Amino acid sequence: MATKVVMEALSPTMEEGRLVKWLKNEGDAVKAGDVLAEVETDKAVMELVARGDGVIRKRIASEGEASPVGTLLAVIATPDENIDSIVSSAGGNGAKASPNAAVAQTTETPPASPVPQTPQQSQGEASAPPQQKTAAAPAAPPAAAPAAPPAPPAAPQGDGRRPRSSPLARRLASEKGIELSQVQGSGPGGRIIKKDIETAQARPAAAQAQPAAAQAQKKEAPKRFITRDGDYQDIPLSQIRKTIARRLAESIGPVPTFYLTAEFDAEKASSLRNELKEFGDDYKISFNDIVIKAVANALSEHPEANAHWNSDHIRYFNRVHIGVAVAIEDGLITPVVFDADRKTISQISAEVKQLAGLARNRRLTPEQYTGSTFSVSNLGMFGIDQFTAIINPPEAGILAIGGVEAKPVVIDGEIQVRQRMRVTMSCDHRVIDGATGAKFLQTVKQFFENPLLLMV
């Protein structure tokens, strides 16, 4: 029996994927489980495997092409099997499966609602869910008779707003043909209420309301910038850029963030690095590795900072998994050093190197970039001495690391030149309070400044 090779949902949020490279040619024999192609998802490059045995009879998708989940990419069959009908059905296939895939992605991107009239969206009796009794239509207030004039546009008052009036007063005024602007309101803030309409009706020649000296401020039309050719270029969003934009906007929006900045003395860390270097390349570590270890150990001492904000609860973690932001060609990704508090600095160093390599080659698997409990971002290598990082939700904090540089500092009343490094912690205030964050950062500082504590 022929097996269809289709675009599969290779990450939990994937809706379409780009076929990066075919690894099998037409005519190649394959077995279930064999890797057929590389596919770029919204997160990484993943492997697409065969789901049946046979020969690749037809490759339909070409390299570089993006297809929705469910699209037919190739056909596996026995050498003599007729696959014409499958190949010719290629058009309809993807379209049929992709809506299902979208629905499977739960809440992040609600599909265009197929629901006819949800209660919260509509008005009046049509809106009521079946189990609610609602006022029968005839009980609703009678609409203004067709002959009656339409509700008069209220004359502007001094502030340009129409006069305040209760809905009932407006309806009565309309029914009785009374101009609201001619009525003096007696309610709070001059609101015209039912009683005022009744009074006005009794005295039709009531004095006109004094129009206030209209001082509508002229607003100058804003100057428009003229665009010229070459001022900008439009770059289509890559899958990863879309994901970053959505995630980070989610962060800066609802996350009440505050920042704590501290300067760490890096003298000892610096000499530790130099000492280790003496033992050979295997022992080479970076400042960042020491930071990761310091953060990890501090988190195990301060579980209150090792937490996720899960909207209806805070999840404090007993294990420490550090996300390490890695810049890649078209964005960034945060692979995870799991249980970093239980690893040595050398282990962390090796692992970060490996993960960064995988990240740059887009070879990280979802398990390798999800599950962090706290993150670290370092831009020191770009000559940045201090910056603030955006929290990677649902985490509660991230530490932004600047570069290490020699600086004059006052120690014991004397100016000395020391290696210093500035760090800024972004805290989700829903989880971490000022003092909590400060205490944690203090512990990080203590560890970093005395890295021997991290070695024991």
- Residue numbers of the site for another protein (CB under 8 A)? 6, 8-10, 12, 51, 69-70, 97-98, 100-106, 114-116, 123-124, 127-136, 139-141, 166-171, 186-188, 193-195, 338, 365, 367, 371
Catalytic residue among 302, 313, 321, 429: 429
Instruction: Please say which residue, 347 or 365, places its beta carbon nearer to another protein.
Output: 365
In whole angstroms, what is the distance from residue 234 CA to residue 253 CA? 25
Name the minimum Å distance from CB 3 to another protein. 10
Buried b (16+ CB within 10 A) or exposed e, 127-166: eeeeeeeeeeeeeeeeeeeeeeeeebebeebeeeeebbbb
Q: Is the dihedral of CA 43, 47, 51, 54 positive or negative?
A: positive
Name the minimum Å distance from CB 105 to another protein. 8
Name the minimum Å distance from CB 431 to another protein. 22
Instruction: Please say which residue, 6 or 396, places its beta carbon nearer to another protein.
Output: 6
Instruction: Please say which residue, 140 or 455, places its beta carbon nearer to another protein.
Output: 140
From residue 81, give the alpha-carbon distance in Å to each of 24, 31, 141, 147: 19, 17, 71, 76
Active-site residue, 429 included? yes
In whole angstroms, what is the distance from residue 74 CA to residue 51 CA? 12
Residue 41, exposed/middle/buried by CB under 10 A (0-12, 13-18, 19+)? buried
∠ CA 369-322-325, nearest 5°, is 60
In whole angstroms, what is the distance from residue 365 CA to residue 360 CA? 12
Residue of 136, 133, 386, 90 lying closest to 264 (CA atoms):
386
Name the minimum Å distance from CB 366 to another protein. 8
Residue 285, exposed/middle/buried by CB under 10 A (0-12, 13-18, 19+)? buried
Instruction: Please say which residue, 184 or 386, places its beta carbon nearer to another protein.
Output: 184
Instruction: Please say which residue, 165 or 270, places its beta carbon nearer to another protein.
Output: 165
Give the number of other CB atoms < 10 A from CB of residue 71: 24
Instruction: Please say which residue, 291 or 333, places its beta carbon nearer to another protein.
Output: 333
CB 285 within 8 A of CB 451: no
Backbone angles phi, psi at 286, to 5 degrees: -105, 165
Name the minimum Å distance from CB 328 to another protein. 22
Name the minimum Å distance from CB 68 to another protein. 9
Report CA dihedral (17, 22, 27, 29) to the nearest 10 degrees: -90
Active site residues: 429
